[in-house]
Amino acid sequence: MDCIFCKIIKGEIPSQKIYEDELCLAFFDIDPQAPKHAVIIPKTHIASLEDITAENSGLIAHIYAKVPEIAKKLGVNESGYRVVTNCGTDGGQTVGHIHFHLLGGRLLGWPPG
């Protein structure tokens, strides 16, 4: 499968890793939208939020359970941050492997563009 995030998991594309365990990987976004911008992905290929099921939702829960640790590694746990997942065309999703953006290091605007 031609998925750039699966290639990052396999080490075929380099990444600046922040956190890794048997189920997920966090790395720095190549095009940061905030001073601190991590991308967190499950090591299992799930295309988007539309593909979450009762069977694989534990992976998503696992990722959220690791968010505070990743935020601490980025130094934004006290200042605050945002976790966001883009889904589909209107949601602005450009990579078809579900991922969670963790953004911080500046005051983030709302509503998003």
Summarize as ranges the residues that interact with Zn ion (CB under 5 A): 3, 5-6, 45, 97
DSSP state of 60: H
Segment 2 to 61, residues that bind ligand AMP, using CB under 6 A: 4, 13, 15, 27, 29-31, 39
Whose tokens are 């396999």? That residue is: 10
The runs of H, that is alpha helices, within the chain are 4-10, 57-74, 88-91
93 touches ligand AMP (CB under 6 A) = yes
Minimum Å distance from CB 111 to ligand AMP?
Answer: 17
Please write down the HEC assignment for all residues of 75-111: CCCCCCEEEECCCHHHHCCCCCCCCEEEEECCCCCCC
Active site residue 99: yes
Compute CA 21 distance to the chain's CA centroid, rounded to the nearest angstrom.
14
Number of residue whose CB is nearest Zn ion: 3
Task: Tell me which stretch binds ligand AMP (CB under 6 A): 57-65, 73-81, 93-101, 103-111.
Answer: 93-101
What distance in Å separates the CA atoms of residue 105 and residue 7, rounded to the nearest whole number?
A: 28
Closest to ligand AMP by CB, 30 or 65? 30
Q: Catalytic residue numbers?
A: 99
Q: Which residues sit at the interface with ligand AMP, rule CB under 6 A? A: 4, 13, 15, 27, 29-31, 39, 86, 92-95
